[in-house]
Amino acid sequence: DTEVTQTPKHLVMGMTNKKSLKCEQHMGHRAMYWYKQKAKKPPELMFVYSYEKLSINESVPSRFSPECPNSSLLNLHLHALQPEDSALYLCASSHGRDLNYEQYFGPGTRLTVT
């Protein structure tokens, strides 16, 4: 299994809602990532988990809260988002945190904040 899955595929939420994005991989990878991608832009790193521990938080606003319940799952909890947070949210994984030049990306969740 070389697949990273993400749910939901699409999400529309109001600025007062609370929602969660889910990511799963069964490749035995020990590093997992959240990226944000705006249209026609590159992926921007948000968070990195290594062995289920948060190792990088790229100054992301607190309205985004990551969680790594186990080595296969990664969640992104959303609360009080702004319209400018509308984007494609990509999850990725790699064998390890070091030399992570080959990352496997999920199909993403397209988020619209109204």
Partner 1 sequence: GQSLEQPSEVTAVEGAIVQINCTYQTSGFYGLSWYQQHDGGAPTFLSYNALDGLEETGRFSSFLSRSDSYGYLLLQELQMKDSASYFCAVLSNSNSGYALNFGKGTSLLVTP
Instruction: Name which of 66 and 108 has its Cβ closer to partner 1.
Output: 108
Q: Are strands 104-105 and 87-94 parallel, antiparallel or unpaired?
A: antiparallel
CB-based burial, 54-84: b 16+ in 10 Å, e otherwise? eeeeeebeeebebebeebbebbbebeebeee
Among 1, 16, 40, 53, interactor with partner 1 by CB under 8 A? 40
Q: Write down the least CB distance from residue 55 to partner 1, Å.
A: 6
Instruction: Name which of 55 and 112 has its Cβ closer to partner 1.
Output: 55
Instruction: Name which of 43 and 66 has its Cβ closer to partner 1.
Output: 43
Binding status of residue 18 toward partner 1 by CB under 8 A:
no
The four Cα atoms 96, 97, 99, 100 give a dihedral, to 10 degrees, of: 80
Instruction: Name which of 16 and 39 has its Cβ closer to partner 1.
Output: 39
Binding status of residue 99 toward partner 1 by CB under 8 A:
yes
Give the footprint of partner 1 on this chain (CB under 8 A): 4, 40-45, 48, 50, 55-56, 90, 92, 97-108
